[in-house]
Each structure stands twice: as C-alpha cells, then as structure tokens.
Amino acid sequence: MDNPRQLLVLYGSQTGTAEDTANRIGREAKRHWFDVRVLALDAYPVAQLLKEKVAVIVCATTGQGDPPDNMKIFWRFIMRKNLPVQSLSNLQYAVLGLGDSSYPKFNFVSKKLHKRLEQIGAHALVNVGLADEQHDLGSDAVIDPWISQLWDKILQLFPLPSGKNIIPAEVRLPPRYHVVFLDMMEAIPTKRYEFDATNQTVIKQQRQPDASSPYLASLAANERVTAKDHFQDVRLLTFDIADSGIRYKPGDVAMIHPENVEERVEEFLNHMGLDGSRLFLIQQNDPNVPLPSSLPQPCSIACVVCTYFDFCSVPRRSFFEMLLQFAEDDIEREKLQEFCTPEGQDARFSYCNRVRRTIMEVMQDFLLTSSRVPFEYLFDLIPPLQPRAFSIASSPTVHPGRLQVLMAVVRYQTRLQHPRQGVCSTWLASLRPESGVKIPLWVKSSSITFPDDIITPIIMVGPGTGVAPFRSFIHERAALGVGGNFLFFGCRSQYKDFYCHEEWSALQSQGRLLLFTAFSRDQEEKIYVQDRLRQNGHLIWTLLHDQLGRFYIAGNAKRMPTDVRAAVVEVLQKYGSMMEAEANSYIESLERDHRWQIETWS
C-alpha cells in the first residue's frame, strides 16, 4: 500500500535560489514525517502529475518572462492547449515564485503557471507566492510566511502520524550524501570533467555541448579593454572553440562554469583543517537524491572545494538553519536562532546581504572546522557553484572558431575588511592563455533574437557591457555588407571605458554603423543614452514608425531600461503626436511583435 504522506517538490531554477528553496521545503517535509521527492521540473516525468495528490512548485523567472532552463520541457507540456480541462482534478498544488521587481515581467512564470494549473483542474492549497529580491529584507520576506501558511494547510489534510511530533530544527537530519574516504594513493584528476578521457570525443559527436557535457575550451586571449587607471577592469575574453561543434548566432549566450581561485581554496582548506589530497567516494543516502554528475568518482577534497562548493557566495536562510545544528554554545545558538526567525530577518540581512559576507567568512566567524562540521555535511551546508551567463560578443562569421565575451571583473568594497570579488570574473581574469587551463562552457539561446533579413533597421541601446550582443550582431551584418545599424552606447569616459571604439570607427567609415555615444563623466552635466535618444527623437520615430525597425535594450536592469523606455515614450509623444497612454500602448504593440526586446541583468 502506498504511503499516503507523500509530497512532491519541484523546482525551476536558473541560479540555484529556487533549488535551494525547494530543498528547504523538502527538509521541512522530512521533519513533518513526509516521504518527499525534490526534483527539477524537467527531471520529473510530467505525465505522472495525473497520479500525484500534492505538489509544491518553486520557480524563478528569467530574461523577459522566460522559464528557467531546467523547466522548459515541463513548461511546453503544461501550456499545451489540448490538455483536458479537468486533467489534474486530483492534484492539490502550491506555487512559489522567486523574482526581481526591477524586471518588467516580475514573477511572470509563477503567475502564469498558477493560473494554468487552475485551468486544467488542479486545486490551489494557498495563493501563489511572489517573492521579490528587491524587498528590503530580500525574498525571505515573502518566502517565510508563505511556507508557514503552506504547512498549516498541508497538516490540515495530512495530520502528523499518531505519536509523532515535528522534528525540531536543531535536530540534525541525515546528510544529503554518504561519503566514504579512501586510503588509496593513486593519482586522480583535480579538475572536474577531466576524469572522463572520452569527454571531448563524446562532445564532438553530440549536436551541441550542454550543461552535462560542456566543452573544455582553451583561453586564446585575455585583453583588458579599459584604461589601466580606470576603476573598473573589463576584459574581452576569447575562447578557442574550433573543435567543439559549438554553433552560435548573434544574441546567444555563453554559459561558463567557474572555479574558486586557488587563494580562496587554500584559505578554506586551512580554516576547515582539511587535507586537499584525500580521496573519497560519494554514495546515495536517499534514493530520491541523485549524485552530483560533475564530480569524478573517486574525488579529492581539493577538487570538490575548487570546482563544486560555492563557499564565496552570500549564505541564504537555509545555511543558518542547518548551521544551528552544529552550534556548541548558548551565544552561538541564540544568534543563529534569531537569524532563522521572521523577527530576525533584518539582523540576518544586515549581517550578510548588506555587506555581502560570504559562507567562508561566516564559518570563520563561528569558528566552524571539520572537527565541528563533518565533511559530508558540507554538501548540505554549501550550495554548488552555478554556471554564469555571458552575452556572446563575437560574430561566428568574423571570428570563426572563436567565442568572445565582454566581462566586467566584479570587485567592490563594503565595510568588511576584504574587497568583495565575483567568483567567475575573478577566476577568468586571473587566467592566462599560456596556462593551458580548460574552461567548461556551452551555448544557449537568449531571450533576444535578431532578424535574418537585411532590410530591417536595428536600434540598439547598450551601455557598458550591455553592448556585447550588439557587437556580435553588428559584426555579423557588416560581414554580409548590411547597414541599418544604429547603436547608442554609453560609458563614463571616452578615454577610460569606451569599449571597441576603433572597431566602431572603422564600421562607421564603411557605412555599416551609425554610432551615438553618451560619456556621462566627461563634462559637468551627466549625459546618458536616454538623453541621446531624446536628442535624436525624429530619427527614432522614423526608424520605428516609417521603416518598421526594431528596438533592442541590453545592460543593467536597475534603472536604465526604465529610463530608456521613458525617453522613447517622450519621442513618440513629440514626433508621433501621441498621448502618454497611447505611446505606452505603442511600445506594448512593438513588444508583442518582437520589435521591442530587452536583455537585462541585475
């Protein structure tokens, strides 16, 4: 007889946050004596939903209202118009969305999924949760009360078994994996994927490398494109992909799986008291929890710390919940318990998020070493490194066998002693072509698409590294002898961070590009790309309205896209004789026709 206390938790996650939240719900389910499965949406056979009684779905929204990569198959299936109206009438569900209100389509995927499940007969346990990363207290401001409400409802349907109580949070659950240490001294690779000698052969036989089988690319060039005395270090990185089988087009995105830099790895090993050369095997503790595919078997501790543990990330709420289980004195327990309560959200946010304190720094603060935290529990405490996405900046025609990305090296100061550094950008910036290091990468489609025809004029607004996808497209069109390219580029100074200025000059002289620049700090009055749009309003109106052109925006999501849209609304009012509401409706019609596209990041 089937266990009636079964719970299915599914997630669609792009950066790992939704996966972390799903795992948190899964751990709480075990504390409520449920048999729980936690799976990525595309790892779950969606037709089995017909047999499920309760499902919790945690999903993020990517790009401009797109589902994460690991739920796209599920998304296409669940949105099919031919699904029977009452096909999921036996299912009770809850949807929690993780989003960022600085993006135009805030939590679009979770909202649409919630409505779709209702349309095909499923019954909502609670209202859809809409967590917002921009909230003063972060996403937990919504997640915590939503999960509390969810358990109240689930326990009404499935009361605790007779004689059982909820397992307290401070009681340690079995670790995610079982670790078996080996005494053998034979050499094994210390970098991920290299344990499979056939990797590159297999990749060549595949249509395209992907997350499970990335191509191990060589670094062909690492060029700084900002002045040496400029505060920001921006690199144009060139990867050799000649034998990869990778095919890409302008607008596509390169996914790169980073490593922790050697200095941080050594610091972590030393603090935890771990022997990096020690070998181990990972075994399943729970048949519902698959083993990590990116780690070799056997593996060294140095390998897993270098390539798998994201110990330089800012810890999430779940980290402190698990850390509480290893607290030894009353002061530690009191502080951690505060961090794990709704009332302690602001204290936790101040301690971690506001100053970007890392997992390793927290472990140093609490004096956590391997004598207090068994090694196998690090797989529960520390999330895995996630791939980073970069807009491809090269043209497949102009740069055959090469793939280029334009990357700002993340480094900034908070009130903490050491500067904050981006894991991926710091690692990539440190690499030299002669080092022979291999970089795991693959390519995926972006949320923006460029037209194939040679007639449509293209307006591109790409300040800073947002210019990357436009560089790819402009070079590709220029190679085909096509003009009609109008680029609005903004940066601080013509002399400090005017990326690719020699290329733009050459393309202008060839009649392939019309460039409008906004150097915000080269004069007393700050000038931005939206100012240049207003100044060239008649041209914008002519290109959009008379010549049916397309409008693209790429760059930081904070204010720029909103300011650019506001500038175009003013242009439409002035040159199209529209009221403000009409101008906004006009832009919405452009969006529906894919003539207004945005790619932004926070």
Chain-centre distance for alpha carbon 554: 16
Any known ligand binding at 370? no
Any known ligand binding at 601? yes
Distance (Å, whole) CA 32 – CA 322: 16
Any known ligand binding at 224? no
Any known ligand binding at 100? yes
Tokens representing 184?
């053998």
Any known ligand binding at 493? no
Distance (Å, whole) CA 336 – CA 320: 6
Any known ligand binding at 520? yes
Distance (Å, whole) CA 300 – CA 115: 47
Any known ligand binding at 103? yes
Any known ligand binding at 388? yes
Any known ligand binding at 70? no
3-state secondary structure 548-591: CCEEEEEEECCCHHHHHHHHHHHHHHHHCCCCHHHHHHHHHHHH
Any known ligand binding at 600? no
Any known ligand binding at 98? yes
Any known ligand binding at 527? yes
Any known ligand binding at 542? no
Any known ligand binding at 110? no
Any known ligand binding at 101? yes
Backbone angles phi, psi at 526, to 5 degrees: -70, 135
Chain-centre distance for alpha carbon 42: 17
Any known ligand binding at 526? yes
Any known ligand binding at 528? yes
Q: Is 345 helix (H, G, I), strand (E, B) or coil?
A: helix
Any known ligand binding at 254? no
Any known ligand binding at 300? no
Q: How many CB atoms lie within 10 A of CB 65?
A: 16
Any known ligand binding at 385? no
Any known ligand binding at 308? no
Any known ligand binding at 75? no
Any known ligand binding at 427? no
Distance (Å, whole) CA 54 – CA 139: 24
Do the beta carbons of residue 410 and residue 422 sit within 8 Å? yes
Any known ligand binding at 317? no
Q: How far apart are the first and last CA of the chain?
A: 49
Q: In this structure, are strands 299-300 and 253-256 parallel, antiparallel, or unpaired?
A: unpaired
Per DSSP, 410 falls in state: P
Any known ligand binding at 280? no
Any known ligand binding at 61? yes
Any known ligand binding at 536? no
Any known ligand binding at 102? yes
Distance (Å, whole) CA 46 – CA 80: 12
Do the beta carbons of residue 458 and residue 347 sit within 8 Å? no
Any known ligand binding at 89? no
Do the beta carbons of residue 481 and residue 453 sit within 8 Å? no
Any known ligand binding at 26? no
Query: CA dist 601 to 101, 351, 365, 391, 598, Å?
Result: 12, 25, 32, 11, 10
- Cα angle for residues 520, 523, 524 (degrees, 5° grid): 100
Any known ligand binding at 323? no
Any known ligand binding at 563? yes
Any known ligand binding at 240? no
Any known ligand binding at 518? no
Any known ligand binding at 273? no
Q: How many CB atoms lie within 10 A of CB 288?
A: 12
Contacts 24+ apart (CB under 8 A), 161-167: 161/5, 161/33, 164/33, 166/31, 166/32, 167/30, 167/31, 167/32, 167/33
Any known ligand binding at 549? no
Any known ligand binding at 529? yes
Q: Is 107 helix (H, G, I), strand (E, B) or coil?
A: coil
Any known ligand binding at 133? yes
Q: Annotated binding residues for FMN, as ranges?
A: 13-18, 60-63, 98-107, 133
Q: Annotated binding residues for FAD, as ranges?
A: 356, 388-391, 422-425, 601
Q: Annotated binding residues, as ranges?
A: 13-18, 60-63, 98-107, 133, 356, 388-391, 422-425, 465, 520-521, 526-530, 563, 601
Q: Annotated binding residues for NADP(+), as ranges?
A: 465, 520-521, 526-530, 563
